[in-house]
Amino acid sequence: MAHGYLEKLQDGLANIYSAGIETHGLNPGAVTIMAEDGIDITHHSSNHLNEYLDIDFDYILTVCDHANENCPFIPSKKAKRLHHNFSDPAKVEGTPEERYEAFLKVRNEIKEYCQKFILRELR
């Protein structure tokens, strides 16, 4: 979701990459909730961070404590590392409405975080 917002909102200021320490594919709940806000993430892929070891990033953003605590060293001469823990809506159990609300809440938190990041760091 963060990749979708950063890609859309930063308006050509940066190249956006997204990867994790595990790959799981796209979550249908994330695809649906992002589409409701006009962002199509169906073309995104679930990539492992090892695919990007040759890139000297300006920023490395981690969006969950698990990734922050377990992320291997990413070589970069200049990367500013930023962390914010978002809950994982895919782990919410309950009714369809409860799962939907979890995705909606996290989507809105991620959108706000991305907007602030762009204003603070890229503009």
pLDDT at 72 over 70: no
Mean pLDDT of the chain: 92
Q: CATH assignment of 2-122?
A: 3.40.50.2300
Phi-psi region of 104 (alpha: psi -120 to 50; beta: other; left: phi over 0): alpha
What is the average pLDDT across 72-94?
88
Look at residue 20 and tell me whether its pLDDT is greater than 90. Answer: no
pLDDT digits (tens, 9 = 90+) for 25-63: 999 999 999 999 999 999 999 899 889 888 889 999 989
